[in-house]
Structure 1
Amino acid sequence: MSTNVPNNSEEQEIDLTQISKKIGNLLQDFNTFLFSCIGFFVKNVRVILILFVVGLALGLFIDHRNKSYKSEVIVAPNFGSTDYLYSKIDLLAAKIKERDTVFLKSIGILEPTKITKISIEPIVDVYSFINNSDQNFALLKLMAEDGDLKSIVKETTTSKNYAFHTITFLTKGITNNEKGIQPILNYLNTSDYYNKIQKVSVSNIQERIKTNQGTVSQIDGILNEFSNATAGNNQKSDKLVYYNENTQLNDVIKTKEALLTEIGNLKITLLTSDKIIKENSTAINIENTASINGKMKLILPFLFIFIFISISFFIAFYKKQMLKAEQKAI
């Protein structure tokens, strides 16, 4: 047993020595590689500088020539026209992708070749969605029990029920409202079916406002009569027995307040019902910096240098292997 202990110690010393040698060799190889890289850059510094300048100049030229801009329009589809809006945008997106300039010109777009993409997405507003009706809240609560709430609020079936949506246009070069955006909005508002619904809806809103205003006038008359009677006579009036209890009077006042609130909301709805797809706000010619747009001046110089280094190392590797093959052949 005593003879095995020295042997184990010697083996451990040998293992440590071998590990130290391997680490030393790796460090030496790394130093050699680092020295070769420095030597390569020193040797080819002129070529690298030329490639950098050429790449920078070419990148600036491409960025300037192919400047991409983004325009956004926030819209509110009226009269249940959300599905109609999305189908129209899908059709426009397909026509733009196909470069169908004949169709795009036919709907009034003066510079169809400038538009490169169009898309639409909802503005997620869960609170407004819930406040619109108790049914929406119950539906969202039910759906959330079986899935992730974050994904549910962004689902197509849910998102289409939001009030506002953003239409995004991508264009080559600067556009303006008259040449690009307004013709598309006019196209979206061209629908015989929804025009008929619009007329009926507007008429119904106006009639409802008129009816509510008449009811408010009647309530005002009753309240004035009650006020005059109580001011002129402290005794109970036969005509005002109905209002003997304060709770009954409060109900009348609450009814009036509810009617006035509804009239205000109906007037706002009437104001926004002048179009099928109502434009709320527009932001045009925002420089598009997504992906590689506007970044070629940064990409090309390093891309050219990387290609040059790759080719140089490939040639050096090929020559080295060819030399080894020739030496073996000898």
Structure 2
Amino acid sequence: MSPNLENTEPEVDLFYVMKKIGDFFDYLGELTVRFIQFILRNIFIFIGLIVVGIILGYLLDSNKKDEYRHEIILSPNFDSSSYLYEKVASQQDKLDSIIVGIEVEPIIDVFGLLSSGSNNLEKGEFLSENNINISTHEPGNQTEIIYKLHKLTIKTDRRDTDGEIVSNYLNKLNQQPYFLKRQEIEQAHIINEIEEKRASIKNINNMFQKMGAADTVAKSDFNIEMYPELNGLIESKNYLLTNIEQLQISQVEKSKVFYDIARVQNIKDNTLSYMIIIPLVLILIYLLLVFFLGKYKKISARIS
């Protein structure tokens, strides 16, 4: 008897599962038919709700102003990152009729942060040891000051066709006296550094000329034993040229307190029309009312 039971049990289980699946689809089909019948019985109510919703949606859409985003990648200089974030936060309640919103967030570049110098590497180790995540940004944790680039988003209620709205805001942002004074000092320092490195390159070139002029070498006290240092001189010159290039880039970026590296303007925020939202909301409210009224009638009949 037991072998026969073992053979028939899997067949019974499979038959039971298939029956349950069939019952589920039958129930789903019955619900669909009932819902269609419900719509057909109340078709004029649904049409009325849709018409009213479209009219209300049209009125709301006609009063709704288009909103445009302008995204600017900024490089804050002279330790001005904290000032930028405080300035944006303090202006949230003081926006004019054109600018309707301002946001700022760091552009997180962990590799660039840690590879840009030994000091930044030490900062990264310190933050990691203190459980401060440098790969994500949480507003208010003040880690934004360690990043070089930041995205400033300005929202307006109209197109900034000629870029004047964004430019005026950035010009006002760049007029803080303390940072302007620091800009003057650091720009002068960069110019001096470039001149010194160019002077060093000039001296190296003079040494190359002495090495290349055999008659000059023979008649002077220039030691021929310095020729093995030729590779070192070439490396030094290349290093100085690279430094000058970096200083010139820094000179460009520090021509403003907040240097705008790139802008993407007039990004229109496409929001769903109220002519779609309102009819759907009205229909949903109607369906919920019908459902709860039906439940109420059943419970009342059961109690009575």
Q: How does the TM-score come out when normalised to structure 1?
A: 0.73
C-alpha distance in structure 2 between counterparts of 1:127 and 1:320, whole Å? 65
Provide the secondary structure at the position in 2 that maps to 1:73.
Answer: strand
1:218 corresponding residue in structure 2: 203
Take 1:46 and 1:262, find their aligned partners in 2: how far apart are those partners? 78
Matched AA of 1:144: S
Q: Deviations over 1:146-202 (max 9, x none)?
A: 648xx3233444432221111112233433455531221112101111111111111
* Equivalent pair of 2:74/2:152 in contact (CA under 8 Å): yes
Once the two structures are TM-superposed, the CA of residue 52 in structure 1 deviates from its matched residue by: 2.9
Structure-to-structure mapping, 1:38-49, within 5 angstroms: 38-49=36-47
Partner of 1:308: 286
Aligned to 2:277: 299
Is it true that 1:160 corresponds to 2:145 in the alignment? Answer: yes
Q: What residue in structure 2 maps to residue 189 of structure 1?
A: 174
CA distance in 2, matches of 1:28, 1:211: 88
The amino acid of 1:304's aligned partner reads L
Letter aligned with residue 197 of structure 1: R
Count of equivalent residues? 281
How far is the alpha carbon of 1:57 from its aligned partner?
5.4
Matched, 1:272 2:271: no
Take 2:25 and 2:252, find their aligned partners in 1: how far apart are those partners? Answer: 77
Cα offset, 1:261, TM superposition: 1.1
Aligned residue type for 2:242 = T
Partner of 1:256: 237
Unaligned runs of 5+ in 1: 1-24, 97-111
C-alpha change, 1:52 and 1:77, in structure 2 (3 Å) is: same
Structure 2: distance between partners of 1:46 and 1:247: 99
Distance in 2 separating the partners of 1:172 and 1:161 = 33
Please say if residues 153 and 159 of structure 1, whose CA atoms lie closer than 8 Å, have aligned partners that are also in contact: no
Q: Please, which of 212, 220, 229 is the counterpart of residue 227 of structure 1?
A: 212
Q: 2:119 aligns with which of 135, 140, 159?
A: 135
**1:115-130 residue pairs with structure 2 within 5 A?**
115-130=99-114
Tell me, what secondary structure is at the counterpart of 1:152?
coil
Give the drift of 1:205: 0.8
Aligned partner letter, 2:272:
G
Amino acid across the alignment from 2:278: L
- Listed as ranges, the gaps of 5+ residues in structure 2 are 1-22
Contact 1:123 1:162 in 2 (8 A): yes
Q: Which moved more, 1:161-170 or 1:52-61?
A: 52-61
CA gap of 1:53–1:287, structure 2 versus 1, over 3 A, is farther
> Which residue is 1:240 aligned to?
222
Corresponding residue of 2:13: none
Equivalent pair of 1:63/1:294 in contact (CA under 8 Å): no
Alignment of structure 1 residues 31-180 onto 2, 5 Å: 36-56=34-54, 58-59=56-57, 62-63=60-61, 65-96=64-95, 112-144=96-128, 147=131, 151-155=133-137, 156-176=141-161, 178-180=163-165
Structure 1 counterpart SS, 2:256: coil
**Gap change, CA 1:237 and 1:158, over 3 Å in 2:** farther
In structure 2, the residue matched to 1:107 is none
Q: Go from structure 1 to structure 2 and tell me whether the alpha carbon gap of 1:147 and 1:77 turns closer, same or farther (over 3 Å shift).
A: same
Query: 1:225, CA displacement in angstroms?
Result: 1.0
Distance 2:146 2:162 in 1: 27
1:200 corresponding residue in structure 2: 185
Supply the AA of the counterpart residue of 1:51. L
- Residue type of the alignment partner of 1:308: Y
More off after superposition, 174-183 vs 119-128: 174-183
- Percent sequence identity over aligned pairs: 25
